Amino acid sequence: MRFTKSLLTVVALSGLSSAAMAASPNWRFVEGGYTNADVGAGDFDGVDVGGVYLLENNIYVTGEHKMLDDNGTDLDMTTVGLGYRMPLDSSTDAYFGANFERVDLENYDENGYSVHAGLRSMVTEQVELLGQIGYYDVDTGDVTVKVGANYYFTPRWAVGASFEKIDDLDITQLNARYTF
């Protein structure tokens, strides 16, 4: 029993020390990959490209474009916005953003906006976790929830996955990321 407690204590402390040594998340990157958007009767697949660039004073610009298809029906989703990041400690940042949103689906083209707040944290030197909540208003307003993770196999390159829920729209992404 004493050995088990000692082992658990060592494991817990080693996890804390590796998180403490991890740098803060990088706010200058480009990424792209595969996206699946499942909405009601449609199951769209395609590619996404996007990026984030940190300006001065913790302000960042962001953009993303998804080009999706479901049996010949095209769905394009575009996001362009600004945000503010607030370092909480050496490995975790809070962020807040506002975006212009555009959705193009055959005979349906709508513009709108979204706002969000989240946390990005380098839990180890190689693993970044993300959690976000927001509001997305294109046609009708909906609460959004997003979770994601990235694994940095080099200091500049990562692979990642994310899942976002917007009412009855589920978006799953698998991406490669390059930081600069």
Residue 120 pLDDT greater than 90, yes or no? yes
Candidate CATH numbers 3.30.530, 3.30.70, 3.90.79, 2.40.128; the one for domain 2-179: 2.40.128
Break the chain into its structural domains and give their ranges.
2-179
Residue 69 pLDDT greater than 60, yes or no? yes
Residue 18 pLDDT greater than 80, yes or no? no
| Spatial CA neighbour of 111 closest among 143, 77, 64 | 77
Helix (H, G, I), strand (E, B) or coil at 15: helix
Q: Are 108 and 88 in contact (CB under 8 A)?
A: no
Q: How confident is the model at residue 21 (pLDDT cuts 50, 70, 90)?
A: low
What does the pLDDT look like over 36-67, one tens digit per residue? 999 887 899 999 999 999 999 999 999 999 99
Residue 135 pLDDT greater than 90, yes or no? yes
Q: What is the mean pLDDT of the chain?
A: 90
Angle at 129 between CA 111 and CA 7, to 5 degrees: 165
